[in-house]
Amino acid sequence: MTNRYRLRRLVAPTAGFRKAVLVTLGGLFVFLVGLALSFSLIILPTLEFLSRATKKVLGFLVPPENLDTATHFMGGACLLLGIYLLFIGIRSALRHLIETINPGFKASGMVDVYVRRQQLAQGPRIVALGGGTGLSTLLRGLKQHSSNITAIVTVTDDGGSSGRLIQDKGMIPPGDIRNCLVALADAEKSMTDLFQHRFKDSGSLSGHSMGNLLIAALVDLCKGDFEKAIAAASDVLLIRGRVVPSTLEHVRLRAILDNGMEICGETNIVQAGSRIRKILLDPASVEPYKAALEAIREADLICIGPGSVYTSVIPNLLVPGIAQAIRESGAAKAYICNVMTQPGESEGFTACEHVVALQTNIQVRVCDFVLVNTGVPSPALIEKYREVGQHLVEPDVDRIRAMGFRVITGDFMSESDFVRHDPMRIATRLLSLVGR
């Protein structure tokens, strides 16, 4: 390795940073000269020489009686110039460091990003329980108000990609956890799109979500430790908050239908198409995830739902200790009722019947507030949903109030090709409950 190559290797990749350092050092030197001229404060022998030389030069330019004034003026100018150069140099050096460490980051807005992240870090401690698209929709709104979010996710999904991974690898179903990770992500869109990509016409990969496969790979890398795998996925996606399962044990749903028939498995229950009388966990005695219980105890706000009442919301609350921890919590507790009914699960349900289903199966009062949508979709969209057996949930708020709950009403709906909750509307309304 020649000396010429060594020199080029040393300076070429960091030309911008080197310039920033030189400006910073120059600013420091000028500032010290200003101190020497203004206050006769000599820190380095070189400064004493420069101070004397500057005074001699000024002696030729100004009358002797004005020499002291001119010296102090020159010292003040050097102080100001030194401070300015220091500011420019340090800011430029930081920008180069940040852009080198994180090339996609816009250093020009780093102060705004810092302030924003500090505000989110000081936000309320929020726990959101559920699964499916309902919970992930809510999380997209909540993350705009706080980064102290814990999403507690149901682990009873046994269909699609998750079901195949349960059979092939014996792991906890990752689908709902993946959706929540993506909802809380602060990563680039390309990364979140990658996690949500689903293979089609790809042989044995068909139907699998890329995010599910990545989580499965992380489980292997973490030697079967699902907790570490989710933590690693969270780091990759730079999520605001954390996503945890309600239990780390393998469980499935068991339903008793109105006709007395008993069905096991979430997919089979939904496909049965009969009204559900009671929903149970199999096995019933599973260990709750400790981090989930701790988050509930420390929460300022607990959000239950939205989501499929029997297969997404209630299963978390059936895990021993979860419902009791919510009941004992001093946080504001709200159940977010669905906007539309769901075929094979909540057909014909009003808002009150959603609450009744919750109370009947849990037998513990887990909320004080019930958030009910009173917005109405366009007639064309209502007709589109009616064709597949779904209807707008009737907001029978008087019946809910008669049960002793406080009802929050409003147009919380987002209408596009689908009818869903608007993340920002429900998050803003829920955050107003903190401290009440």
Residue 65 falls within a domain, yes or no? yes
Q: Is the pLDDT of residue 411 over 90?
A: yes
pLDDT score of 203: 76
Count of CB atoms situated within 10 Å of the CB of 191: 15
Which amino acid is residue 213, in one-letter code?
A: L
With tokens 């959706």, the residue in question is: 179
Q: 393 and 288, same structural domain?
A: yes
Q: Sheet containing 262-264: give its strands across.
A: 262-264, 252-257, 276-282
Q: 252 and 308, same structural domain?
A: yes
User: Structure tokens of 244?
Assistant: 């945890």
Q: Of 71, 105, 139, at which residue does a domain stop?
A: 105
Residue pLDDT, tens place only, 82-98: 899 998 888 888 777 77
Q: 288 and 329, same structural domain?
A: yes
Residue 89 falls within a domain, yes or no? yes
Q: What is the mean pLDDT of residues 3-28?
A: 67
Residue 180 falls within a domain, yes or no? no
Q: What is the mean pLDDT of residues 235-246?
A: 94
Q: What is the mean pLDDT of residues 127-139?
A: 93
pLDDT score of 370: 98
Say if CB 260 and CB 248 are below 8 A apart: no
What pTM was estimated for this model as a whole? Answer: 0.79
Q: Residue 46's domain spans which residues?
A: 3-105
Residue 173 falls within a domain, yes or no? no
In total, the chain counts a number of residues equal to 436
Confidence grade of residue 2 (pLDDT, cut at 50, 70, 90): low
Task: Please give the Cα distance from 276 to 78 (Å, whole number).
Answer: 81
Residue 11 falls within a domain, yes or no? yes
Residue 225 falls within a domain, yes or no? no
CA angle 196, 200, 205 (to 5 degrees): 85
CATH code for the domain in which residue 256 is found: 3.40.50.10680
Task: Please give the Cα distance from 354 to 346 (Å, whole number).
Answer: 8
Q: 276 and 343, same structural domain?
A: yes
Q: 88 and 22, same structural domain?
A: yes
Residue 195 falls within a domain, yes or no? no
Q: 136 and 30, same structural domain?
A: no
Q: 326 and 291, same structural domain?
A: yes
Q: 396 and 353, same structural domain?
A: yes
CA-based R_g, the chain, Å: 31
Q: 311 and 384, same structural domain?
A: yes
Q: 144 and 36, same structural domain?
A: no
19-39 as b/e: b if 16+ CB within 10 A: ebbebbebbebbbbbbbbbbe
Residue pLDDT, tens place only, 262-298: 999 998 998 887 889 999 999 999 999 999 999 999 9
Which amino acid is residue 212, in one-letter code?
A: N
Domain count, the chain: 2
Q: Is the pLDDT of residue 374 over 80?
A: yes
Top-confidence range, 98-102, 205-209, 370-374, 382-386: 370-374
Q: Phi/psi zone of residue 291: left (φ > 0), alpha (ψ -120 to 50 degrees), beta?
A: alpha
Q: Of 105, 135, 170, at which residue does a domain stop?
A: 105
For residue 428, how many C-alpha atoms fall within 13 Å in the half-sphere facing its CB? 8
pLDDT score of 7: 47
Q: 372 and 262, same structural domain?
A: yes
pLDDT score of 426: 96
Q: 403 and 272, same structural domain?
A: yes
**Residue 348: is it exposed, middle or buried by C-beta count within 10 angstroms (0-12/13-18/19+)?**
exposed
pLDDT score of 188: 63
Strands 276-282 and 149-153: unpaired
Positive or negative CA dihedral for 314, 285, 225, 125?
Answer: positive
Q: Which residues contact 396 (CB under 8 A, 6 or more apart)?
A: 350, 351, 352
Which amino acid is residue 312, in one-letter code?
A: S
Residue 235 falls within a domain, yes or no? no
